[in-house]
Amino acid sequence: GGGGGAAMAESEALVSVDYEVFGKVQGVFFRKYTQGEAKRLGLVGWVQNTSHGTVQGQIQGPTARVQELQDWLRKIGSPQSRISRAEFSNEKKIEALEHKDFQILK
């Protein structure tokens, strides 16, 4: 925190963050639910299964919305998933969104 006055502008800043979710997250429609939640929040990015049994991707959008999806990836996920942990990396401010929508990559 710190630096008063910029609170509104700050929450509207766009951020990009990479994520990886560990646990039982493949074969449980995790990507489909992640895409649905991201679209509901108005976020863009992508999601894909990895060869080592995790789900990874990138989220871009307003800070507050991105944090909502991060919480969702940490705690909720798809109904049949069992999330052990979610890791986030490369969080940075961006000037503009680099994706048109939220895609499921093969």
Residues recognised as catalytic: 31, 49
User: What HEC string does 36-76 produce?
Assistant: HHHHHHCCEEEEEECCCCCEEEEEEEEHHHHHHHHHHHHHC
In the block, residue with structure tokens 């994706």:
99
